[in-house]
Amino acid sequence: MARRAWALCLVFAFAFLSGGIAAAEIVDHGPPYTDAEFMALAETRIPSTFMQILPKWWPRAPAYLRQRVLNAPSHMWWPIILCNYQGFRPESTSRDSAEKCERDAYENSQRGKNFWTKDGQWVGPSAECIRGDKRTQWGELICD
């Protein structure tokens, strides 16, 4: 019995040290978010290069931008931050509107996702898509 208990302890210690027992994944309950929920979920929603400055930047971000981010679905956080950085403001309704920029940025980020498998293997565009030859203004292939 003691041997079994010892073996079980070793298995748990090894699993813990190797990362086999992970912390519970944070659940995304949808907007509105709190600052704590934003910071916890941001690691999987914001590019890693921006994550390095996010903890210092977020408390100093303008109030209107923080409210816009916290009230938006989490998949839109990066397009909102990016478009704000580029100078698009929510009060504009013309060609330079923030909503258009955010929608375009999100759609562009999703466009090539169907070229990859879930395990990260490149499969490329389908033959139908290549034959259709539908492209963006920059020549990127669009497969809808």
- What tens digit of pLDDT does each residue of 27-69 get? 888 899 999 999 999 988 888 889 999 999 999 999 999 999 9
Cα separation, 102 vs 72, in Å, equals 11
Q: Report percent pLDDT > 90 for the chain.
A: 29
Please check whether residue 120 lies inside any domain of the structure. no
Residues sharing a CB contact under 8 Å with residue 78, sequence separation 6 or more, in sequence order: 45, 46, 47, 50, 105, 109
Residue 69 within a domain: yes
- Average pLDDT of the residues in 7-32: 56
Residue 52 lies in a domain: yes
The predicted structure's pLDDT at residue 55: 93
Identify the domain containing residue 108 by its residue range. Answer: 29-113
Q: Stretch 84-90: mean pLDDT, rounded? A: 84
Do 103 and 63 form a contact (C-beta atoms < 8 A)? no
Q: Is residue 99 part of a domain?
A: yes
pLDDT of residue 119: 75
Would 55 be classed as within a structural domain? Answer: yes
Whether the predicted pLDDT of 4 surpasses 80: no
If one counts the domains in the chain, the total is 1
pLDDT at 25: 67
Q: With cut-offs at 50, 70 and 90, classify the pLDDT of residue 24.
A: low
In a domain, 134, yes or no: no
Residue 103 forms part of a structural domain: yes
Residue 67 lies in a domain: yes
